[in-house]
Structure 1
């Protein structure tokens, strides 16, 4: 089985070596150690680091990621209900972010069109209204 030095893992994953050391310190992904103290990452460690980066982008905290990786490594069924709830909550958060980003893209499209075809000062008022609509969707409220 191929093993990677911290330098190789860092380059492969485009992650700073300091990040890999930090993950080791948190016991998120713990590479094997040689007699000389050097870290060596297995293919499975690389996969777990990929999990970590994808889940971070998805909004998981490092501790939540640790729970997922621990579950994956140990298949500890007693942690399943809380882990499942974390996954459901993250999915809901992602869907809300997608909705927000969609409204922001619509704002940019509409504002760009208004700016391109600006015919009257009232067009700027329309842009102000668009930004208010996006802000309301961001905050979930009816603020002006």
Structure 2
């Protein structure tokens, strides 16, 4: 299933601004449709929920990014 940013933000309880920030920080690699609109998949849902759990433990974005390397 594909979700556009507004519906994805609601689904994962984050703001569209936060999602764009995560994309800018390369925590998310977001697909785009032929019109250039971002869309997210079930894989992205799983990944964001994992990021949220890491954030709940007190990890910073910088630490999460370092763990991706």
Where on the TM-score scale, by shorter chain, does this alignment land: which range? 0.7 to 0.9
Q: Which has the larger radius of gyration?
A: 1
Does residue 26 (structure 1) correspond to residue 25 (structure 2)? The answer is: yes
Q: Match of 1:45?
A: 44
Aligned-residue offset at 1:31: 1.3
1:1-144 counterparts in 2 under 5 A? 2-68=1-67, 70=68
Flag structure 1 segments of 5+ consecutive residues without an equivalent: 72-144
Q: Match of 1:136?
A: none
Runs of 4+ in 1 over 2 A off after TM superposition: none
Structure in which a larger fraction of residues adopt helix = 1
TM-score normalised according to structure 2 size? 0.88
TM-score normalised according to structure 1 size? 0.45
More RCO (CA 8 Å, sep 6+): 2
Aligned-residue offset at 1:36: 1.4
Q: CA RMSD in A?
A: 1.3
Structure in which a larger fraction of residues adopt strand = 2
- Give the Cα separation in 1 of the matches to 2:24 and 2:16: 12
Aligned-residue offset at 1:14: 1.1
Aligned residues, how many?
69
- Give the Cα separation in 2 of the matches to 1:42 and 1:67: 24
- Give the Cα separation in 2 of the matches to 1:13 and 1:38: 18
